[in-house]
Structure 1
Amino acid sequence: MKVLLAGANSYIGRMLIPFLLEKGYEIVCLVSDKKRFQEHNDFANGVTLISGDLLREQSIETLPADIEVAYYLVHSMAQSQDLAALEALSAYNFVHALDQTDCRQTILLSSLSHGNGQSKRVESRKHVEDILKEGKSALTILRATIIIGSGSISFEIIRDLTEKLPVITISGWINPPCQPIAISDVLTYLESVKLNEKTFNRSFDIGGPDILTFKEMILEYARIRQLKRRVITIPFLPSGILSYWLSRTNSFGYAATHNLASRLKGGTIMHEHAIQEIVPNRCLTYKESLLLAINHTPVKSNE
């Protein structure tokens, strides 16, 4: 089976490629720079590369007509005022190119959020969903919360903060409960919904079994690493100041930390569990996902 991957350079894209290759899929990656992709991806020789910048429709090479499934994993971390327009243009150009193929299903990984903490970003992603729905192929949307895996932004920020700071200061409004999910479970869902007609033109929340606050996630990491850490909550700390401070104390920039803080502020727990009826899967606990991430193990064992 031939699948198209847009967003191959994203964290999820990089993890999904070997996962699908191992299962025997033929993968076509839409990338803006073939040479850069080949230099930075260990599995570049196992996929077919199609050149194209989704913000410039004329640059997109013709996609293979026999693509059956397309993954849209394009997600901007930018804080530009033009974010919504750029994400909409990218989605529109993707749909226009994909509609020239025989693709039956598009799978979108989006953000799980039911709060008001990131209204502009939520509206932008909702607009992307609406654009993808206009395509010829059926759309399946998976909405994930905090993704825990070696290399994921959420995990790396938690690790950086906990490893470096004996006393960690966070804002009170980023402490609503969330439902972190292991990267291995995200990959399982992304693959398992493929060409499953029960998932066509539907959206699903996905998350792990534990409901935790950001403080609890930090302290669980500290327990595993046997680190003595104290977390202090400061009420009413502005999001911009918090994001700036976070970006100064870990390896990621302001945009990544601001995005994480915004998602935590809104609260990110599953409001429906329909995915379990279609794809029965015992998701890893937060502790189990942390242990895999700390040990740089990409996926859980099937044994």
Structure 2
Amino acid sequence: MKILLTGATGYIGFQLLHTLVSAGNRVVCCVRDTDRFSPPESIKDSIETVQLDFLDSNTLSKIPEDIDAAYYLMHSMSGSANYQNLELTCAENFRKVISATTAEHVIYLGGILNEDNLSEHLASRKAVESELAKGTYNFTAIRSGIVVGSGSGSFEIIRDLVEKLPVMITPKWLKTKCQPISVFDVMKFLHLSLKNPKTYNKIFDIGGPDILTYKQMLLEYAKFRKLLRLIISVPVLTPRLSSYWLYLVTETSYRLANALVSSMKIDITCHNQELQQLLSIEPMNYNSALAVALPVLEQQPSVNPQLVSSEGKNDLSVSSDWLNTPKHGCLKDKKTANVTDTETTMQKIWAIGGDTGWYYANWLWKLRAVLDKMIGGVGLGSGRRDPNDLYVGDKIDFWRVAYVNKTEKRLILFAEMKVPGEAWLEFQIKGTTLHQTATFRARGILGRMYWYVLLPFHAFIFRGLINRLAK
């Protein structure tokens, strides 16, 4: 099928792109700025990118007429103060142009509504839904609960609050109820609804099996991350003050915080879960959603959520350019160096650790291993299985191989030493440049203190390491 995808640079849109391409579809990606859209090389032959703006009807002639279906995933939560009118204009222009194509089906992803008490943000979503439903195509509206996934705006706020604040003085709206759903399940609903006559011209709610208050979501996240957190709700924080509170202690923008706060004051739980039965989907619970939102390596949701196998395999079920160390909620040390001889550098990377050592300040690596052993960690262990060959699951001192591929000149190591969080070390040669990235997903305040205390040592060790590897 040929599918039009709007919002391709957004969180859900970019996740859905891989799902659609993996199913053999050709996808037309609508973006306002092609410079902000960087699809992986592995799918470029399966997509077509068009630069346009649904607020400007003069740009919409670029949309192909021979499409089979379309997804509407555009929202203006963090845009202009006049975002309601802008959203409605986008929806109207979309409806008109898609009605003139061969598209048989349009799917819209919105948020679960509380019809008796609509926030300004959710009222705008409902108006968009009503406008899109006027088209000549078959229309499906899917209303989702809070999406649990690394990169989701709501989830990142939860992560920031719990990771950074041991004690939280919170607004009373943390007692309102919601129905969180994993991004993996959202992808299933969006994909399996596509051109399915059973879903035509209907409105569905989707959510996970757990109905939780926002306070429970925060505490369950803290429990999952093994963090002790105290939450005290007070009635004095107005919506405006609540928005500033989120803006100051998390990485969200004020406009996004304001839109989320207005929605969080209202219970939003599923009223119609018919789609779950129609498509035979059993959404995972909140704890399972957290587990796949915080994996060893991030995979696209079209891939079965799983930790990297510890068996000696290189044939992972996902293209490497869709498999990465975690991006959100992490601290990173990125370094690059020009490679003198690619083959020599490759050999050095593949021989790292064990009897070969770490090429620079080896005594510091050994000291770290001794300290690790003293606090109950693995220390240097048995070094490595083979001096020159690597497989997924192999141990290299206090690291384990999470991904390895000589063709791609890429190696990702996952730390098994004792650290207040999770750590990765990645090497990849692109052209004549060696990219070295240390990633740390800190656990709470202690994890952040650990990272910043060691920052001068990391700067010294990692710069020396990459320079030795690149020679």
TM-score tier (shorter): over 0.9
The equivalent residue for 2:61 is 61
Candidates 35, 38, 41, aligned match of 2:39: 41
Aligned residue type for 2:304: S
Matched, 1:18 2:21: no
Deviation track 1:240-274 (CA, whole Å, cap 9, x = no partner) reads 10111111111111122222222221111111221
Query: CA–CA distance in 2 between the matches of 1:266 and 1:57?
Result: 35
The equivalent residue for 2:98 is 98
Query: CA–CA distance in 1 between the matches of 2:266 and 2:100?
Result: 38
The equivalent residue for 1:220 is 220
Q: Which runs of 5+ in 1 are unaligned?
A: none
Measured at CA, do residues 293 and 136 of structure 1 come closer, stay the same or move farther in structure 2, by a change above 3 Å?
same
Check the 8 A contact 1:142/1:203 in 2, yes or no: yes
Query: CA–CA distance in 2 between the matches of 1:107 and 1:203?
Result: 10
The equivalent residue for 1:242 is 242
Aligned residue type for 1:94: F
The equivalent residue for 1:9 is 9
Aligned residue type for 1:7: G
TM-score in terms of structure 2 length: 0.61
The equivalent residue for 1:173 is 173
Query: CA–CA distance in 1 between the matches of 2:239 and 2:36?
Result: 35
Matched, 1:207 2:211: no
Range with bigger deviation, 105-114 or 80-89: 80-89
Check the 8 A contact 1:117/1:263 in 2, yes or no: no
Measured at CA, do residues 297 and 227 of structure 1 come closer, stay the same or move farther in structure 2, by a change above 3 Å?
farther
Aligned residue type for 1:284: M
Query: CA–CA distance in 2 between the matches of 1:235 and 1:171?
Result: 6
Query: CA–CA distance in 1 between the matches of 2:207 and 2:32?
Result: 31
Query: CA–CA distance in 2 between the matches of 1:10 and 1:93?
Result: 20
Measured at CA, do residues 113 and 71 of structure 1 come closer, stay the same or move farther in structure 2, by a change above 3 Å?
same
Check the 8 A contact 2:18/2:300 in 1, yes or no: no
Deviation track 1:114-137 (CA, whole Å, cap 9, x = no partner) reads 166653222222221121111111
The equivalent residue for 2:89 is 89
The structure that is helix-richer by fraction is 1
The equivalent residue for 2:275 is 275
Aligned residue type for 1:66: D
Query: CA–CA distance in 2 between the matches of 1:168 and 1:232?
Result: 6
Task: Give the length in aligned residue pairs.
Answer: 301
Query: CA–CA distance in 2 between the matches of 1:158 and 1:298?
Result: 21
Candidates 301, 304, 314, aligned match of 1:301: 304
Check the 8 A contact 1:73/1:109 in 2, yes or no: yes
DSSP-derived class of the 2:161 partner: helix
Range with bigger deviation, 138-147 or 128-137: 128-137
Query: CA–CA distance in 1 between the matches of 2:158 and 2:119?
Result: 24
Measured at CA, do residues 160 and 174 of structure 1 come closer, stay the same or move farther in structure 2, by a change above 3 Å?
same
The equivalent residue for 2:286 is 286
Query: CA–CA distance in 2 between the matches of 1:219 and 1:298?
Result: 27
Aligned residue type for 1:90: C
Measured at CA, do residues 117 and 241 of structure 1 come closer, stay the same or move farther in structure 2, by a change above 3 Å?
farther
TM-score in terms of structure 1 length: 0.94
Matched, 1:113 2:116: no
Measured at CA, do residues 118 and 169 of structure 1 come closer, stay the same or move farther in structure 2, by a change above 3 Å?
farther
DSSP-derived class of the 2:273 partner: coil
Query: CA–CA distance in 2 between the matches of 1:293 and 1:107?
Result: 25
Q: Which structure has more RCO (C-alpha within 8 Å, separation ≥ 6)?
A: 1
Check the 8 A contact 2:146/2:178 in 1, yes or no: yes
Q: Which structure has the bigger radius of gyration?
A: 2
Q: For 1:248-267, what aligned pairs fall within 5 Å after superposition?
A: 248-267=248-267
What displacement does 1:302 show? 7.5
Aligned CA-pair RMSD: 1.8
Deviation track 1:16-55 (CA, whole Å, cap 9, x = no partner) reads 0011111111100111122332xx3336724101221011
Check the 8 A contact 1:117/1:265 in 2, yes or no: no
DSSP-derived class of the 2:188 partner: helix
